[in-house]
Amino acid sequence: MPLDLISVKQATETYGYSGSHIRTLLGKGILEGEKIAGVWLVDPQSVEDYQARMDQLGNKKHGTWARSNEKDEAGMGETSSAPGARSRPQKRT
């Protein structure tokens, strides 16, 4: 593990991600870091690499949801909603 680890707070200030997002990525092993005495420390190079991958993916990083919204904006799909979302039944009057 690199010796130039930074705190999650420093990573949020430097890279603009929320602390919870960085901790989630650390927990999933997407970012490199160490948990010492219950506190995550992050390898800044792994955050930069992640940020570069996300920039390269662009809208593709959002998967099916983003593609369905692109169709909706172009007038090609149904009304935009989150995947798996249910519409509310109409009230009878």
Instruction: Report yes or no: 1 and 34 within 8 Å, Cβ to Cβ.
Output: yes
DSSP secondary structure code for residue 36 in this structure: E
Q: What is the pLDDT of residue 84?
A: 53
d(CA 45, CA 11): 11
- Does the residue 73 lie in any domain? no
Say how many domains are in the chain.
Answer: 1
Residues forming beta bridges with residue 19, ordered by sequence position: none
75 is a domain residue: no
pLDDT of residue 80: 46
Angle at 11 between CA 32 and CA 48, to 5 degrees: 60
Range of the domain at 40: 6-59
> If the chain, 93 residues long, is cut into consecutive pieces of 10 residues, what is the mean pLDDT of each piece?
85 95 95 95 96 86 58 51 55 63
The HSE-up count of residue 19 (CA atoms within 13 Å, CB side) is 9
